[in-house]
Amino acid sequence: MPLAPQRISFSLVLATQGHHSKYLFYFVKIAYKAALRKNLTRQESEHSVIELKNAAFSYGGADILTEMNLRLSPGSFHFLTGPSGTGKTTLLKLCYHALLPSSGVVRMFEQDVRAMSRDDVAKLRRRIGVVHQDCQFLDHLSVAENVLMPLQVSGREDEMASSNLMELLGWVGMADHAEAKPPELSGGERQRAALARALIMSPDLILADEPTGNAAWEMGQRLLSLLVVLNKMGKTILIATHDLNLIRTAKAQVSARVLRIQDHRLQLAGADL
């Protein structure tokens, strides 16, 4: 029997978001419609979105990650912490097939990445939204054009009306910069535009590498609120961050696991967070 999309109290969400509530409500509708379209079954909901089994990655003969075991189930929320240089970005790249493991197994949506064709990879990547730490854009295109790029590449540009695009940009605080070119943006503005681009195709999995690193506290909270609501609508979230206050704020709103990379291995962080 198909599962109904997870219900959420719209009135509660809107009441807590102040004058930005209309943007949040738009994304709630998008997530709700996506859940209806996918029509997930109970059997499918038990599958993993990303799974690593004894996965390792080495570079130049040096171990970066070893014995990595991780399962991201549909609708889960995880934070990834650890000092700079411990391999957080590398782990995220393993999750979306930007890197192949040196050994072990990595599966994307139940498919072994080593057995996937280029077409398979392209198809599954459409189900993943990635917010990169370096926020690369095409500098000759406007912010709006950069955000729309994933839909254009996949032939789905007609799915996003211009008014909906502006609501998306407005929610992340970028509506006034829709026609700006990327070189004109600050670091925090680039991260907000990158988040909008990651969300444009309503992905099943969102991977974010320090998404609030250069954003002001208020904007960071707005971005976190969006991710929390999307998670409550069934999206799987994995955020790499150094911001322990961000983690504490999220854990008060959603059931989130905190993972830490230490000594090249993945560990469940303690209750001190």
Chain-centroid distance of CA 270 in Å reads 23
Give the C-alpha separation, 36 to 266, whole Å: 35
Mean pLDDT of the chain: 81
* Packing angle of the helix pair 143-153, 162-171 (nearest 10 deg): 120
Average pLDDT score over residue span 81-100:
92
Q: Which one, of 69, 112, 60, 121, lies nearest residue 91 by Cα?
A: 69
Strand, helix or coil for residue 212? coil
DSSP helix/strand/coil, 77: strand
Residues 6+ apart with CB under 8 A from 89: 133, 209, 240
Q: How many angstroms separate the CA atoms of 267 and 270, rounded?
A: 9
Q: pLDDT at position 178, please?
A: 95
Domains of the chain (ranges, CATH numbers): 10-48+73-100+116-268 (3.40.50.300)
Residue 18 has pLDDT above 70, yes or no: no
pLDDT tens-place string over residues 235-267: 999 999 988 888 999 988 999 999 999 999 999
Q: With 0.85 as the threshold, say if the pTM is over it.
A: no
CB atoms within 10 A of CB 263: 8
Whether residue 272 is predicted with pLDDT greater than 60 in this model: the reply is: no
